[in-house]
Amino acid sequence: MNEEIDESEFYHQDFTTASEWEVFMARMEEIINQWKTDDMKNEKITDIINVWDIRSEKLTFADTDFLLHAYKMDIETPDNSESSDEIEKQNDIPIDSLYDFELYNENNNNVHSCLSTWYGLKEYIVLAPTNNVNITSENKIKILLSSAYIVSNNTNCGIPIFVQIRERWQNCYLGVFENEAIRTNFEMVHLNKGPPQCSYLNGLLDLFKTKIMSPCNIENILVSVQMTYTLTDFGNFIWKQELLEGDFDTESLFILPFGVSVDPINSIILKATWSHLPDHLIIDSEIYSDLDPIAAPKWSCSANITYEPVCLLGEALSEFFQNLSNNSSIYNVLGDFAASLSMDSNPLDLLTEPAVPAITALLSRAARHSLSRNRRANPPINESVLVPMLYFLFPDADEKSTYPYGWREDNESLKRNDSNAMCEEDFKGFKTVAADSLCWRLSIVLAHALQSLGGVKAFCHVWYEFVQEMRYRWEKSMPIPG
């Protein structure tokens, strides 16, 4: 006879097992306590101030991945012991009651930096979903916010804890701050269009007093106002330099490419600020306003810089460094042009030519010996551009040379001042050549060839002509200038 089995003895719910939510909160508490322990062990001694220290840890709850971020600003403390103690007491409270508007801080460019700007926070924690997941479910929002309340109470961290909700572009957060004395709830409402009365300070003050709902008469309300103006259209005052595409100015042979091809400034931001003024001293309504930007007690200006603008000097130097790893020969780059030039040279011609050529013949042939040869191949650089460049390198080949060696020293010796002397003193450790020497001019000419005359082919063409000229002068026992 089969015995009857009581299923309740085998199947029962174990309430001692931690749920997924409890495990999630325990993990949050563990991370925050670990951060507190690390802060106590590692007292930072750094010369860098007003820089955000950011830490992150991964969490998982309800099949969703989260990141728990901790943000803390390193604040400068003075040497005076009394004042430093007062500042340390103020730093214990992450909410700055005297927070004022600040100019754009390039160090505060983290993902959740809007919280420090809106609430004046120096330290806070953010729980945010990853992988572009949006928390839009009301039930999930309530569970996550309840987790923040419980964790803040259990850990006694004294730091505001925020939960990012809704879609990311909305920058919507809910949070809580709790310490031994007070508890503050951070709430947000995202509106597609703000109420018309909130476009002016008087309407905002009425809304503020309504939300406070104080039984006592509110008299002392401090107001800070900031107006921001952004200039993006600079008209004729755009600072940029057009790239040279085949057009070469022989008058600026000795000047390296410098400037930018795109305006390096995206926008200029001007802010007019009124700080900590009693509300009864300011009127700002649809009819009348005291907030005249010209009469603002504080102005500040900043500029948004273009991300990685094309700098001509940097591009020229970068191309030089890139060619260091180029193992191609000149004949591989120039092809038939270099081959046709090399076929015309016969070493046996040296035995039949006179030992000492005439001076007029030297001046007419120097620097232009190779241009009178075979023209079956198209040169990378036109002769109208190449000839002035070679005359710049070898000015003795031109009877009416515009740039003889030493002309820069004569022109600039009178312009040198103490600042130039200081620069020369600082640059003594650099490996370089004498200014206005042959190597100095060759480097500039090659930079122009790479930057604006055709790249590597133009570079090889100039180098080939330079080597041909140096060989010709060596064979003819001609002096090499510079």
pLDDT for residue 351 is more than 50: no
Question: Which residues contact residue 388 at a Cβ distance below 8 angstroms, ignoring those fewer than 6 apart?
Answer: 250, 253
The side-by-side arrangement of strands in the sheet containing 265-278 is: 222-231, 265-278, 298-305
| b/e per residue 90-117 (b: at least 16 CB within 10 A) | eeeebbeeebebeeeeeebeeebeebbe
Mean pLDDT for the stretch of residues 99-114: 68
Identify whether the C-beta of residue 270 lies closer than 8 Å to the C-beta of residue 231.
Answer: yes
The reported pLDDT for the residue numbered 407 is 63
For residue 99, is pLDDT > 80? no
Residue 75 has pLDDT above 70, yes or no: no
- Going by their DSSP bridges, the two strands 161-165 and 123-129 should be labelled as parallel
Average pLDDT (136-162) is 92
How far apart are the two ends of the chain, measured CA to CA in Å?
Answer: 118
Q: Cα(105)–Cα(118) distance, rounded to whole angstroms?
A: 14
Joined together, the tokens standing for residue 257 give: 């490419």
pLDDT at 218 (0 to 100): 74
Burial 206-219 (b: 16+ CB within 10 A, else e): eeeeeeeeeeeeee
457 band by pLDDT with thresholds 50, 70 and 90: confident
Which pLDDT band, with edges at 50, 70 and 90, does 243 fall under?
low
| Cβ–Cβ < 8 Å for 166, 190 | yes
DSSP secondary structure, 360-378, as one string: HHHHHHTTTTGGGS--SSP
- Angle of helix 438-452 versus helix 456-475 axis, rounded to 10: 150
Q: What confidence category does residue 370 fall into, taking pLDDT thresholds of 50, 70 and 90?
A: very low
Task: Sheet with 161-165: list strands edge to edge.
Answer: 51-61, 64-74, 123-129, 161-165, 172-178, 183-186
| 275 burial type by CB count under 10 A (0-12 exposed, 13-18 middle, 19+ buried) | middle
Q: Which are the contacts of 402, defined by CB distance < 8 A and separation ≥ 6?
A: 395
What confidence category does residue 366 fall into, taking pLDDT thresholds of 50, 70 and 90? very low
The tens digit of pLDDT for each residue in 390-406 reads 888 888 877 777 778 77
- Burial track 294-328 (b if 16+ CB lie within 10 A, e otherwise): eebeeebeeeeeeeebebbeebbbebeeeeeeeee
Tokens 């003594």, residue?
428
pLDDT digits (tens, 9 = 90+) for 30-71: 999 999 888 777 665 555 556 788 899 999 998 899 999 999
Three-state secondary-structure class, residue 285: coil
Q: What is the pLDDT of residue 145?
A: 94
- The answer to whether 265 touches 304, Cβ cutoff 8 Å, is yes
**Backbone angles phi and psi of 198, in degrees to 5:** -80, 0
The yes-or-no verdict on residue 416 having pLDDT over 60 is no
Reported as a pLDDT band with limits 50, 70 and 90, residue 363 is very low
- The pTM of this model reads 0.59
Residue 69 has, within 13 A of its CA and on its CB side, a CA count of: 20
What confidence category does residue 186 fall into, taking pLDDT thresholds of 50, 70 and 90?
very high
> Is 251 a residue whose pLDDT tops 60?
yes
Residue 127 has pLDDT above 90, yes or no: yes
Q: For residue 226, which of 113, 123, 116, 118 has the smallest C-alpha distance? A: 118
Q: How far apart are CA 406 and CA 441, in angstroms?
A: 12
- Hey, how many other C-beta atoms are within 10 angstroms of the C-beta on 173? 23
